[in-house]
Structure 1
Amino acid sequence: MKKHCLALDLKDDDALIAKYEEYHNNVWPEVLESLSNSGINHMEIYRVGNRLFMIIEVEDHFSFDKKAKMDADNDRVQDWEVLMWNYQQALPFAKPGEKWLPMNKIFEFGPPI
């Protein structure tokens, strides 16, 4: 099992942020199924201000490239991604087309959990 941490920003608008959180209280079943089918076992998203932080725990066979291909072939996931982009914005240093960016671990204390 592996863990990945990613970051993304939301548009800095309280109403849009509230709507984004509302959607995440009722994620579409097809999106959840796609996450599971891609090898993601557990996902958490945290927010501070308009910055999002995602932690995913994945199977050893998980691949971001494979997940991107699966997502591209899934109309319902594409509908979700288009909808979410109404609320999301790329990090200031992201390259064109990049959304969630992987974070580098810079510190760890204690035994792995």
Structure 2
Amino acid sequence: MRLGSVIKVKPEKLEEYKRLHRNVWPDVLKTIKACHISNYSIYYKDGFLFSYYEYKGNDYHQDMAKMAADPKTKKWWAVTDPCQSPIETRNEGEWWAAMEEVFHLD
């Protein structure tokens, strides 16, 4: 499964966000991989962050709950979330807004 999502980055926090992602904490990377996420990228353009990753597990919701419960990941999000501003059209309960895939070519 391929997933894309979008969120705004606060202009005054952009450089901090980039700095943080140049040195993502090893325990956070380990948890991402343990939750069956691969090929993960975040892009920036005109105040927006676009996230893309591939999920290779069998229970996406369970793996996302596992990630959200991880203490190191919670601390990481406490540092990165203040850099972000969710878009107004996101679904209820979303921080990053899920995007619809309209084209893919392998």
Q: Which TM-score applies when normalising by structure 2?
A: 0.88
- Whether the aligned pair in 1 keeps the contact of 2:32 and 2:67 (CA below 8 Å) is no
- Whether the aligned pair in 2 keeps the contact of 1:39 and 1:62 (CA below 8 Å) is no
The percentage of counterpart residues that share the same residue type is 22
Q: Among residues 12, 20, 23, which one is paired with 1:23 in the alignment?
A: 20
* Cα offsets for 1:24-73 (capped at 9, x unmatched): 0000011101110000121011110211111101214250x223321232
1: CA distance between counterparts of 2:73 and 2:40? Answer: 16
2: CA distance between counterparts of 1:106 and 1:73? Answer: 32
- 1:3 corresponds in structure 2 to 2
Q: Which TM-score applies when normalising by structure 1?
A: 0.83
- 1:35 corresponds in structure 2 to 32
Greater helix proportion: 2
- Whether the aligned pair in 2 keeps the contact of 1:6 and 1:100 (CA below 8 Å) is yes
| Structure 2, unaligned runs of 5 or more | none
- Tell me how many residue pairs correspond in the alignment: 106
| Structure 1, unaligned runs of 5 or more | none
Aligned pairs for 1:1-113 (under 5 A) are 2-11=1-10, 13=11, 15-63=12-60, 65-95=61-91, 97-108=93-104, 112-113=105-106
* Cα offsets for 1:5-25 (capped at 9, x unmatched): 1111111x2x41011001000
Give the 3 Å change call, closer, same or farther, for CA 90–69 of structure 1 in structure 2.
same
Classify the secondary structure of the residue corresponding to 2:100: coil
